[in-house]
Amino acid sequence: MLFKLLIVIVFLGGVVGLFFVGRDISTAFIRLFYGKYSPKYYSFYRKIKGKYPFPVSIKDNFIHYFQDFLVDDSFKTYVTTKEIKFEDYNSGDDFKSLKKQLGNPHNFSAHKLHKGIGQVLGYNSNKEFRKRSLYYFYDSELVMEKFVVKNIEKQDIKKIKSDIISDYNIEDSIYDETTFIIKGARNTVLCYVDDGFAISLRYYVPKNEKVHQELQMNLIEYRNSTRK
């Protein structure tokens, strides 16, 4: 009887072992076939392991970070005839080539959207006032840069705003604003938020009208799904 029980235990142990080995092989295959930073591997890893393969760069859904200026209109809004430009790179820059330039990210997120995919590369930064830089890609094309600024003096905040006024011919009343957006030509947007702890600057520069409309559609679908 004891011998039979030992056989059953060994058998079950083997089955469990094969399950975990098979799971790890499947995970490795998905990573090899689709890539380490693909949404497919990202979501499969989380489903199998119960955690993300990397520290996350964003906590909410990818499209959530566009709603302040794609749908909502609650911020103080300025308008410029100029086109908002990225600070670091160019609209439509490719995910793979940009990651190759920047190196492996300190954190990363990927989401399957209603239409297309969203990926975010996050890097710690010591460039001027920045503490963190985030690059948002829609279907592997750069659509938004976000910079987080912390622990800076009032004169430094004034310099940031002064540069914005100079670059985009904006009224100097932004000196009195803690939160505002600037709408530029070709659907481009600069979003400035000072929450008292940190300042974030988001530069939204869609490659073309098609990309802009698809992001708007994704946002509408996302908001509808969160209301259910």
**15: confidence class by pLDDT, cuts 50, 70, 90:** very low
Q: Which two tokens stand for residue 222?
A: 């996302």
Q: Which two tokens stand for residue 205?
A: 């520069």
pLDDT at 197: 87
CA distance 17 to 141: 41
| Window from 104-113, 121-130, 154-163 with minimum mean pLDDT | 121-130
pLDDT at 26: 67
What H or E segment, with its residue span, contains residue 174? none
Q: The pTM is what?
A: 0.84
Mean pLDDT score of the chain: 84
pLDDT at 14: 43
pLDDT per position as a tens digit, 30-68: 778 777 888 788 787 778 888 888 899 999 999 999 988
CA distance 133 to 121: 8
Sign of CA dihedral 31, 36, 39, 43: positive
Sign of CA dihedral 227, 59, 130, 137: negative
